[in-house]
Structure 1
Amino acid sequence: MTVRHFYLAMAVIGTLVPWLFFGSFFALNGLDIPLFLQSLFANGAAAGFSIDVLLSILVFWVWSWRDAACNRIRHWWLVLPASFFVGLSLSLPLYLWLRERA
């Protein structure tokens, strides 16, 4: 298995595993986005973890945008919807896969 295949596999796993949890939340509560956001900060542990991931995504966006410009990586913008609809578990391996392709 090449590192490119590893990144692609991790992108798939990084999409499926979070959506198992997101899917169960939405199955129980419907598409209640305010409740979803409120649940991210339900207690100190959840809030700390949520802020950690959100800050990491912000740093990743800045780094990957600059890296993509320097290395002429096409389709960098795909990390934005990947981050919004899944999270860093998809956007990071997706970007690394794009980078390996370049």
Structure 2
Amino acid sequence: MPPFRIVLILLCVAGIVLPMRYFLPWLSANDWDLMAMVDAWHVNDASSGLVWDLTVAALTLTVWSIWESIRTRRWIGLLAIPATYFVGVSLGLPLYLLLRRA
């Protein structure tokens, strides 16, 4: 297996484990209230800036993966879209790059 592929796989694992390490305990402690989590993300200007940064990155990845999937007729890259919105860009981007090279 090429080294770049191994790096992408490791980034996918990190992109799942690192965010979920914080999200799951927080959600569990707050009765799985997603709106409370959104409110917590906007507790100050710094965190709101990060939310918007990641939102633009997620939308960019979505547009890119749709555009390239239509252009190349390789639909496997579309799996990065739910990964991005259910976990985060930290999983969606390395997964997309991994699937793109598949």
Report the TM-score when normalising by structure 1: 0.89
Give the aligned CA root-mean-square deviation in angstroms. Answer: 1.4
Structure 2 unaligned spans of 5+: none
Aligned residue number for residue 92 of structure 1: 93
The Cα shift of 1:54 comes to 0.4
Aligned residue number for residue 33 of structure 1: 34
Q: What is the aligned length? A: 101
Percent of aligned positions with the same letter in both sequences?
31
The Cα shift of 1:48 comes to 0.6
Aligned residue number for residue 71 of structure 1: 72
Aligned residue number for residue 4 of structure 1: 5
Report the TM-score when normalising by structure 2: 0.89
Question: CA separation in 1, counterparts of 2:69 and 2:30?
Answer: 38
Question: CA separation in 2, counterparts of 1:93 and 1:42?
Answer: 29
Which of structures 1 and 2 has the larger relative contact order (alpha carbons within 8 angstroms, sep 6+)?
A: 1
Misfit runs of 4+, over 3 Å: none
Structure 1 unaligned spans of 5+: none
Question: CA separation in 1, counterparts of 2:73 and 2:90?
Answer: 23
Question: CA separation in 2, counterparts of 1:6 and 1:57?
Answer: 21
